[in-house]
Structure 1
Amino acid sequence: MKFNTLILILILGLFTSNLFSQKYELGKVTIEELKESRHPIDSSASAAILFKKGETKFELNNDGEWTVITEVQFKFKIYKKEGFDYANQQVYYYIGGYRDETVHFKDAITYNLVEGKVQKTKLKSDGEFKEEVNTNFSVRKIAMPQVREGSIIEYSYTLRSPHISSINDWYFQKEIPIDYVEYNVYIPEYFRYRTVISGYENIDIRNENIVTGNFEQQKYIYKIKNVPAIKKENFIININNYTSILKYELASISIPNRANKNVAVGWDDVVKNIYDSENFGDELKSKSYFEEDLKEIVNNASNEKEKIVIIYNYVQNRISWNGKHGVYTDDGVRRAYKQKTGNVAEINLILVAMLKEAGIEVNPVLLSTRDNGIALFPNRFAFNYVVAGVEVLNDVILLDATNRSTPIGLLPLKAVNWKGRIMRERGSSNEINLLNVPFSNDNVIVLAEINEEGEINGKLRRQLTNYNSFLHRENYGSVSQDSYIEKLENKYKGISIKEYKVDNLKHLEKDVIETYSFTENNVVEIIGDKMYISPLLFFTLKENPFKTDERKYPVDFLFPMKDTYKISLKVPEGYQVEYIPTASNLIMENEYGFFRYNISSVGANIQLVVSLDINAFYIPSNAYPALKNFFKMMVEKQAEKVILKKK
């Protein structure tokens, strides 16, 4: 028995050793790999990366110029037609510096199994493209040939960059599984970099000293096997915030016979560099282009509050956003003002300049949109958005004139992302909590009656506050009333709407209020001499939005909210209440959420008051089981029926 156990241990040891010593090389495609019809771990995967290997090295020329060279190798397996898109690959590179970056693809081959043999099809020149994205970036693309289900694709590319200040982000995780990732980075002894790895996967990290050429280097080795696909889930805005990514940022330079240079920046350094730019700070100084208009529009304003409202509305309605983000101007504020269109920086720097000229204490506020991600450490690319911050007492009122649905004090949801920084001319900056926003309410009042056929007729009033009003204006502000009513009737099956009216759709400082009459045929079931009624009517939550057993990532509710429903139902003549559900109060752990359900029978009326409070932007993944159970109990309570019986 002991002998057999020893043999088993030796076999397992050999297997493990072979697994970790396996060579990952381009050109080594086997018939077994091509025959594989599904991924061994994730059978739902349409494709997988069999390996991704990269190496970053530094090269010094005779003129003392450094070049960062990164070579990356990929090997893909296509399992399903849905994975054909992975035959098209692209790499962006920077062309806005004193020396352009360059990208070159090579070793691009598609492998297929044809009549039991491995068939190779090389990428030809007509399958490679170059496109200019803008004045700063270009992209090289390849479209692999002869791709079908079962194909294996291999390619490599080399990126040469003169910019040592940062090394391109390295992704250990993609939207498809990756069997093996390895990344080697060689850092010359003269440079020190700050690094950070985001995400939830455990990366094996080692380092060693090596000597090549005329200087020592530190070699960093990053490895991981069997990386699961990063899959989008409900209630997540930017999945990259939770993806395993390695970031490098230059901290210091120490070259012999030269003064040491500390490149590591703090947030004040980042802010100062932005403010000192001619495409930022200099633009704020310009005012001649709007002076006459400003005098005219604020001429009758009696106080600062009126001035702020007038100037904000003027800029918001005069200049249209061209769809471009950024903290720097492209064509300049003067041209944007004249042409009545501009990027985020142009519009909001005009707003700041006009407010300053009117005597308002205001400064630019830098932030990163949700799509841009969360800044993990101070760096040049941390921010991609700028708004105006009016300073009052111990608070800062934020204004963004790029969006015509946002009132004063409310940013577009894309810009509500953790922290921002208010910047001042004297070079200082302060952190601002962008998540400090008011609750957004959805208040519904219904007065209705049930007839003997089980049909419900009633009137409804709905009041939306803060972001609920914003979303309504964003989604339906330009939709015709008939189209909107059709959308409502499709959303709430069995409802027919008439006498619809909406107030304050264009008045951003006021709540959007809807009123309408309705007929409902879908919430009452008649069986014999009894009626079974869903008292929440068409607002009943019928299924739990959280279905998976586990969740790695936080749940993003966009904003804290409070939904309240007050419903009064008149019982039809000849019927009486036989049963009403019991009251219920649910409290989620850490008070992330509250659900209150109160119902009573008063004379010929059923009175229902239901409220749901979500008190946090983000609910952490370790609270997910409690969140799922909270919604499960809420769905179960809402499924309970009121029972009416004929007298």
Structure 2
Amino acid sequence: YKYSITSPFIYNVDEFIFQHDIPVNKIEAFFETPEYFVFRMNVKGFLNVMPKREQFNKSLDYTQRVASGGTTNAGAGQGLGRTTQVRGNVKYVSNVISFDLNNIEPLKEEPFVNELSNYRSGVKYELSYTQFPNSSKEFYSRTWEDVVETVYKNPSFGDELRKTNYFKEDLDAIIKNLTDEQEKINTIFSFVKSKVKWDQSYGKYTRKGVKQAYQKGVGNTAEINLMLTAMLDYANLEANPVLVSTRSNGMPLFPTREGYNYIVSSVRINEGIILLDATSQNSLPGVLPIRALNWEGRMMSKNGKSTIINLYPTNKGSIQTFQNITLSGNGTAVGKIRNVYKGHQALSFRDEYGKDKQKSYLNQLVNNNDGIEINNFEVKNNNELAKLPIESFDFTTESQIDVVSDKIYFSPLLFLATKENPFKQEKREFPIDFSFPFENISTTIINLPEGYRVESIPEAMAIALPNGMGNFSYAINNVGNVLQLKVSKKINYPVVPAEFYPSLKEYYSKMVGKLNEKVVLTKI
């Protein structure tokens, strides 16, 4: 099939998409413009796109009515100018960029991708300037300074940020005795989250205004986080808004207001800059929701300048797991598990185990762990954000242990062992995005069944990724009738470049292999 698009919006050309979710035999695409319109071309994705550029001499016939002078009587005090129809011809150069691509591989879903469409091969066009005959150039391309100035001057942004009267009395009452900066930040952040709930809509501009959002108790991202920024600034803290493009919105390739669709807040303290997003009830200062972790944002200061700021966290999210397991000779294992969550792992847990989600969370916990039986499930500190959430439960499983004749075989982590390598493709062209650096450490005590002795246990292992990007360690010891196991998994960077994909794939392969090695017990 073949199609064309006609639009009066010359500055906004639809993206040429070359790569799809299915294989494509052939694509031909043409972009033709008169010499008076100069566009900047931005190629995205990993296909080797080679545009062909050509110029053609063309002409355009036109008809125009022009005033010819004189008047005609059309009533007292009125006169109509005479017009004459004039025909003409304009010769111009037509610039044509054409693309001819064959046998295009599909863009496949892969694990740990922030937004697959960000890496879909295509071309975007931006109107740089126009220059008509006998006229000067009129520029349309923007610098980031232009974008920031335009956003800041918008009444639904800058004016809203400067408003303080609607909250002054309430805020004075809660911060009047606070002198510590961090305590002020935590108090104001908690106050905004309790006062205004997010309406689930994105935006860098307010819709109904910060005052109405404050009074009604509901607002969009701009209303909530501009309000937060204004309160922090009012409390004599160095606070500024940060323009963000959410993961679903993609990455801004060139200066444009449409490239950003979200706002978070920032505050500078001696230790550095803390990012805050009060739209998430479970977030903490320095812990943004995953939707906002998309490479870089643009921090806007009052003097109209902007600064690029890294949105990815540097602090690790962590899960500490403690297990105590007792095995029986018939292949049953009963045990207790306690998980302690921190940082982004705590945010993720609280979001999954939030209000009205407990039943679905438990069902998923059972289904994801080979149908274990769970009892005495308990969560502590789930609503006390200053404390770490702790999850604990008892379990029984009969599917994790193989009893063959007088031997017992089992993986020491039972259902917690990662069963397969998530990285299966031979090669990968885009980065591996873990969202945040993380550290998962598990300590396991296994009480062996009476009448059995250890015949063999897995060897210890310690492996590391290049450039300090991560490491894995596994150590198991047999002390009397007890096995002691400690496993540590660390990824130290939120994003791993694609060039390290082979190393990461091999790292995960070795780790999964080790986690699934068996302990062998022999009947005495």
Same fold, TM-score > 0.5, yes or no: yes
1:591 CA displacement: 4.1
Partner of 2:413: 536
In the alignment, which of 146, 153, 159 is matched to residue 282 of structure 1? 159
In the alignment, which of 397, 404, 428 is matched to residue 274 of structure 2? 397
- Which residue identity does 1:205 align to in structure 2? P
State the structure with bigger RCO (CA 8 A, min sep 6), 1 or 2. 2
User: CA offsets per residue over residues 289-330 of structure 1, 9 Å max, x none?
Assistant: 222222233234343322222221121122222222121112
Give SS of 1:381's match: helix
Q: How many residues are paired up?
A: 493
1:167 partnered with 2:44: no
- CA gap of 1:372–1:481, structure 2 versus 1, over 3 A, is closer
Partner of 2:143: 266
In structure 2, stretches of 5+ residues that fail to align are: 61-89
- Which residue identity does 1:192 align to in structure 2? V
2:194 and 2:56 map into 1 onto residues whose CA distance is 61
User: CA offsets per residue over residues 417-437 of structure 1, 9 Å max, x none?
Assistant: 111111011111111011243
2:42 and 2:347 map into 1 onto residues whose CA distance is 36
Give SS of 1:160's match: coil
1:351 and 1:372 map into 2 onto residues whose CA distance is 23
In the alignment, which of 229, 253, 270 is matched to residue 352 of structure 1? 229
Partner of 1:373: 250
Whether the 8 Å contact between 1:202 and 1:224 is mirrored in structure 2 is no
2:271 and 2:438 map into 1 onto residues whose CA distance is 25
1:283 and 1:367 map into 2 onto residues whose CA distance is 18
2:304 and 2:213 map into 1 onto residues whose CA distance is 26
List aligned pairs for 1:154-303, cutoff 5 A: 158-161=5-8, 163-212=9-58, 213=60, 214=90, 215-303=92-180
1:274 CA displacement: 0.6
1:216 and 1:483 map into 2 onto residues whose CA distance is 64
Whether the 8 Å contact between 1:494 and 1:521 is mirrored in structure 2 is no
Whether the 8 Å contact between 2:381 and 2:387 is mirrored in structure 1 is yes
Give SS of 2:379's match: strand
Answer with 254-263 or 279-288: which moved more.
254-263
1:545 and 1:177 map into 2 onto residues whose CA distance is 23
Across the aligned residues of Structure 1 and Structure 2, the Cα RMSD in angstroms comes to 2.1
Give SS of 1:538's match: helix
List aligned pairs for 1:331-346, cutoff 5 A: 331-346=208-223
1:174 CA displacement: 2.3
Give SS of 1:531's match: strand
User: CA offsets per residue over residues 124-172 of structure 1, 9 Å max, x none?
Assistant: xxxxxxxxxxxxxxxxxxxxxxxxxxxxxxxx5x4322x3333222212
Whether the 8 Å contact between 1:249 and 1:379 is mirrored in structure 2 is no
Partner of 2:331: 454
- CA gap of 1:394–1:408, structure 2 versus 1, over 3 A, is closer
1:486 and 1:372 map into 2 onto residues whose CA distance is 32
- CA gap of 1:188–1:494, structure 2 versus 1, over 3 A, is closer
List aligned pairs for 1:588-607, cutoff 5 A: 588-607=465-484
1:480 CA displacement: 5.9
Partner of 1:562: 439
Whether the 8 Å contact between 1:450 and 1:569 is mirrored in structure 2 is yes
1:515 partnered with 2:362: no
User: What's the TM-score, normalizing by structure 2?
Assistant: 0.88
Give SS of 1:175's match: coil
1:566 CA displacement: 0.8
- Which residue identity does 2:372 align to in structure 1? I
1:601 CA displacement: 0.7
User: CA offsets per residue over residues 346-402 of structure 1, 9 Å max, x none?
Assistant: 111111112222222101011111111111222222211111110113621111111
2:426 and 2:183 map into 1 onto residues whose CA distance is 52
In structure 1, stretches of 5+ residues that fail to align are: 1-50, 53-72, 74-155
1:510 and 1:229 map into 2 onto residues whose CA distance is 46
Whether the 8 Å contact between 2:313 and 2:494 is mirrored in structure 1 is no
In the alignment, which of 169, 190, 193 is matched to residue 313 of structure 1? 190
Answer with 267-276 or 315-324: which moved more.
315-324
1:479 CA displacement: 4.0
Give SS of 2:247's match: coil
Answer with 266-275 or 507-516: which moved more.
507-516
Whether the 8 Å contact between 1:571 and 1:604 is mirrored in structure 2 is yes
1:242 and 1:185 map into 2 onto residues whose CA distance is 22
Quote the sequence identity (%).
38
- CA gap of 1:595–1:281, structure 2 versus 1, over 3 A, is same
- CA gap of 1:275–1:536, structure 2 versus 1, over 3 A, is same
Whether the 8 Å contact between 1:408 and 1:509 is mirrored in structure 2 is no
